[in-house]
């Protein structure tokens, strides 16, 4: 049996741009993608903390170190520049794989610079140790 489990999350990132005239996607600073374990072109779920919108799109790698979080295409209508969002990626895993693969959670500041990286433990509690990857 495969379970659809959270594998990576960028928590409370700030929308830096919204471009209606582009194919639907989300452009994310490459460093943020890598540190959260999210791949380019991977499907992600977006939750806008400010307005409650929830939708799915795919990722595009943006300029490394830029802090870019840009919603593109129709998804740009769901957000405003400055909104806080949560970006989540999921993976299909066996129950055995779930035990060995807790999700990475990337916390960022208002400029989308990395504050810390943690992993979930049992019952949704965060570990105290940072991941240095």
Nearest to 50 by CA among 13, 25, 22, 21: 13
Q: How many CA atoms lie within 13 A of 35 on its CB side?
A: 24
Q: Which of 22, 53, 58, 66 is catalytic?
A: 58
Rounded to an integer, what is the distance from CA 119 to the centroid of its chain? 14
- 11 forms beta bridges with 107
Residue 25 a catalytic site member: yes
DSSP structure class, residue 24: S
CA diameter of the chain: 44
Cβ proximity of 55 and 76 under 8 Å: no
Active site (catalytic) residues: 25, 58
């Amino acid at each position: 049996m495969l379970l659809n489990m959270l594998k990576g999350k960028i928590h409370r990132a700030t929308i830096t741009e919204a471009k209606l005239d582009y194919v639907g996607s989300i452009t994310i600073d490459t460093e943020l993608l890598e540190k959260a374990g999210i791949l380019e072109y991977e499907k992600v779920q977006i939750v806008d903390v400010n307005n409650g919108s929830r939708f799915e799109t795919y990722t595009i790698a943006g300029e490394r170190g830029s802090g870019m979080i840009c919603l593109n295409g129709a998804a740009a209508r769901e957000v405003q520049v400055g909104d806080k969002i949560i970006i989540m990626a999921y993976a299909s895993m066996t129950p055995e794989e779930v035990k060995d693969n807790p999700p990475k959670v990337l916390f960022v500041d208002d400029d989308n610079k990395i504050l810390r990286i943690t992993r979930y433990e049992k019952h949704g509690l965060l570990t105290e140790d940072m991941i240095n990857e």
